[in-house]
Structure 1
């Protein structure tokens, strides 16, 4: 098969891939934005199917009442009414490269709500009717130098003498927070409570584009479904209702995630709900009874941070799947691990990409050589194929049989030129998702003007060089001059089209493609010389 036709095939696949991405975005539009006026009480957001209690009335606290918590990885604000986390920022991940302002994940204001809520419902649950106001010894808590663990206790005692201690435990270097309830039943009757945890977010905030199709929305996991996206649009149409052992719920965005992970050994209920322009996804743990004079501890883990696969896997074996590589995950995951290993050796993400490209191209060299050898043999057979067309041009069946006999006799595989391309394109797409999803590459510096490999080249130099390398590859093709004028024009515009597409692609991906082209040019020179020596010019 002619190399020019193969390039057209790549172009068509490439365009089809981009169109598919845009169609996927169009099929999952965000719901219309509605301004959230207050922070609704979490128990009011629990699905109506719950057999626990009626919905309470929520309460909004002023910012002066919020409890501040600062660690080496998190800056949180907790509302003493209900004990919800209403603000979370990541001091190790800046909003802008080179800036001082930390990236904000959770927030709550008149324009946007994204909070992590938790509480106890049930017959004696303090969140069943109205959110409890916890007493806290202090307004600000900080993880000091040399301190590995920070505990923030909040206490509420109801009219029946039942004490509820909501305890937040922070660990140095970690983005997960342990949220435990210690219930001490000082009443004369049994106390029945049920813990719930949920994430709530306004649905109007958009992310992604045609060339960077990132996902902002919910996701969950059950014992039967390891990972499932549940978009805001799905939440608005259909409430989630899943019973499972373990499981988790999450809200995803580009590079970062928040998630509630309940007790893995318990039978939990996952739910979702759409309310006043806000999407809610949560977990209800089993109802529990505390006898008079007894004590019960129950809890869950809240993760707010980057999509760090190692850290996520420690919380749940499937939570690392929020780093979504799509249907080519089985290719992307080894590429990711190889990239991480190479970076540990060279210390620069750009050079790690270059070395990885050399390894991939070197691994594919035998297939590339087979491709060009097959093309050369096909060109050598053109006179014989033309004779067959003149003899059997009107009889397609006899023509096909004669061609197959000729290929068998000459030991030529007519599809031999396609295999390297079919292998190369999935690798390209998989590596695209590695660069798109890998938080390690966010704000990763390379050299010179490329200061962020996860963003487009600010001066478009790499895409232009990539286009020039494609043009050089075309000129090296021996059959370019034999094509008809229309085919030549199509092929001449291919580098221009690819350059246009790559203008908005992450610089790391363009670097990979550019280096790959340069390696291919070198390989072509070597292979052509070998073919000349074999009489297959």
Structure 2
């Protein structure tokens, strides 16, 4: 009853007291000019392109300008806005919005003022000199389309002896390289600070949970910083990361936008709210002096794409510190990472991630087989000394401390370890949680089918029992959306408990009988791939139990004897009630 109250009551309470806000967010606010603040910190404006706060435009309208510079790379399609020199239009060619083949590509970046506002801007900060800003109309001086083989260069002259250039290049994946150059044709030196920032709305961000981070992300020599989320940045004000920032940006579960510092150059990172639900990640280089006749360049890389583990590792090998750790594997990284590599290998062999999960389950069971043998041996020993244990319990039932001493002495004499049977359970916990993280975070699993109705192993089982697998025109509430896989999970776990020796404590017996069906409700909303793993694990455990019972006939005989005693006890109880 308590379990039922928890399952039904939790969902009701969340929907009643914490409803999701479906009101469109206020996406933008008016931009301030870049300037140096009185406290010496750098303010590069809020990056909203001078749009009044209430104004929200659709993407098609915002992209209507014919002057945009097209981006057409192997995995990215989009454009650069020459006004402000912004990268604000990026679609990911190789990732679609839904499981449907014609659902269209994922839109990662969108212009300022649109519902999905998300863009990058590059510029300079200085005093007493005209500098390019968000409204600056840059001129194309080289290239007409950004592609892997053809970079594009934009230029702007301030009419005061300084000419600026932005050179954009892109690789075969998701990395843009932006070189910010300033040439001084005047007679005196000029002090400037190059900067870059990413501005985005949190309205369409992935939900950040206790085990998966979504929001601001940064890296330095100390590792990757997952400490801040959007609400904390809003409440606590600008977050200064200090000098030595390697890269900074925003992450979702599957997507990442990040600015990567030029190697060997000092730069500071920061996060700040820019009003409404918009936030900014800043990367500001140390000051540079541009002498007369000199040209100074700072090169910043912009990653805007999917968090594919192989791609992130490739960039890490190229010198982007800790970039492979942008995927928040968590505490179980030492287990999750090798597990993911095995899954990728099996997928290459079998061509189906569902079969790869089953293959991984088989490998894990084989690796744990020696431990399972010890577990069953321990169970057999416990059954063998059970009569002596019952005798001790009868003899010392009024003296609990003495009973504990005598039982410890019995365990020592018979060389029985009562905790040995728990070891496989404790080993399975980190393995299960690591696989849960893999299925949750690995974008390579996204929209990967198994067979039949299971078209996305990273999503819950869509075939729910209560609407007759979609035949009835309604969607059950989340706590009642019990799919086929959840039922199979409960049934196989029930069979597994039935094969185990019955617990001596009646309360434990009841718990073991109820637990499979409680877990059926609990696990139903989880990814289908995770349930597939658990079902496969249960089936293999059943086969393993059958085999080990054959190898331990004394345990099987004791189980049969226990069942006979239970039947006789039940018959006696029934007869006694009939006589009453």
Would the aligned equivalents of 1:195 and 1:299 in 2 still touch at CA under 8 Å? no
Answer with 1 or 2: which has the greater Rg: 2
Return the offset for 1:299.
Answer: 1.5
Q: Aligned pair 1:410/2:431, yes or no? A: no
* Distance change in 2, residues 1:48/1:90 (3 Å): farther
Would the aligned equivalents of 2:85 and 2:122 in 1 still touch at CA under 8 Å? yes
Mapping for residues 38-117 of structure 1, pairs under 5 Å = 40=31, 43=34, 49-51=39-41, 58-59=49-50, 63-64=64-65, 65-97=67-99, 98-108=101-111, 109-117=113-121
* Distance change in 2, residues 1:63/1:191 (3 Å): farther
Deviation per residue, 1:33-58 (Å, 9 max, x gap): 741245736847x9875445785994
* Distance change in 2, residues 1:305/1:412 (3 Å): same
The match for 1:194 is: 193
- In 2, the alpha carbon distance for the partners of 1:305 and 1:62 equals 20
* Distance change in 2, residues 1:510/1:310 (3 Å): same
The correspondence for 2:216, drawn from 211, 215, 218, is 218
Mapping for residues 45-444 of structure 1, pairs under 5 Å = 49-51=39-41, 58-59=49-50, 63-64=64-65, 65-97=67-99, 98-108=101-111, 109-123=113-127, 127=131, 131-136=135-140, 141=145, 143=147, 148-171=148-171, 173-205=172-204, 207-208=206-207, 214-238=212-236, 239-277=238-276, 278-313=278-313, 314-315=315-316, 316-444=320-448
The match for 2:578 is: none
Normalised by the length of structure 2, the TM-score is: 0.80
Would the aligned equivalents of 2:259 and 2:303 in 1 still touch at CA under 8 Å? yes
Would the aligned equivalents of 1:55 and 1:128 in 2 still touch at CA under 8 Å? no
The correspondence for 1:452, drawn from 450, 456, 460, is 456
The match for 1:8 is: none
* Distance change in 2, residues 1:518/1:534 (3 Å): closer
The match for 1:462 is: 485
Would the aligned equivalents of 1:67 and 1:139 in 2 still touch at CA under 8 Å? no
Would the aligned equivalents of 2:217 and 2:224 in 1 still touch at CA under 8 Å? no
Return the offset for 1:240.
Answer: 1.6
Would the aligned equivalents of 1:207 and 1:214 in 2 still touch at CA under 8 Å? no
The correspondence for 1:530, drawn from 542, 551, 556, is 551
Would the aligned equivalents of 2:118 and 2:200 in 1 still touch at CA under 8 Å? yes
- In 1, the alpha carbon distance for the partners of 2:28 and 2:225 equals 33
Return the offset for 1:168.
Answer: 0.6
Larger mean Cα displacement after TM superposition, 430-439 or 525-534: 525-534
Would the aligned equivalents of 1:124 and 1:191 in 2 still touch at CA under 8 Å? no
Return the offset for 1:347.
Answer: 2.2
Would the aligned equivalents of 1:255 and 1:306 in 2 still touch at CA under 8 Å? yes
- In 1, the alpha carbon distance for the partners of 2:141 and 2:295 equals 22
RMSD of Structure 2 on Structure 1 (CA):
3.3
Would the aligned equivalents of 1:35 and 1:110 in 2 still touch at CA under 8 Å? no
Would the aligned equivalents of 2:30 and 2:46 in 1 still touch at CA under 8 Å? no
Would the aligned equivalents of 2:117 and 2:201 in 1 still touch at CA under 8 Å? yes
Would the aligned equivalents of 2:75 and 2:174 in 1 still touch at CA under 8 Å? yes
- In 1, the alpha carbon distance for the partners of 2:186 and 2:267 equals 28
The match for 2:570 is: none
* Distance change in 2, residues 1:454/1:127 (3 Å): farther
* Distance change in 2, residues 1:509/1:55 (3 Å): closer
* Distance change in 2, residues 1:438/1:366 (3 Å): same
Unpaired segments ≥5 residues, structure 2: 52-61, 464-482, 559-580
Mapping for residues 432-511 of structure 1, pairs under 5 Å = 432-459=436-463, 460-479=483-502, 484=506, 487-511=508-532
Would the aligned equivalents of 1:162 and 1:185 in 2 still touch at CA under 8 Å? yes
- In 1, the alpha carbon distance for the partners of 2:229 and 2:251 equals 10
What SS does the aligned partner of 1:280 have?
strand
Would the aligned equivalents of 1:47 and 1:273 in 2 still touch at CA under 8 Å? no
Would the aligned equivalents of 1:43 and 1:56 in 2 still touch at CA under 8 Å? no
- In 2, the alpha carbon distance for the partners of 1:39 and 1:473 equals 63
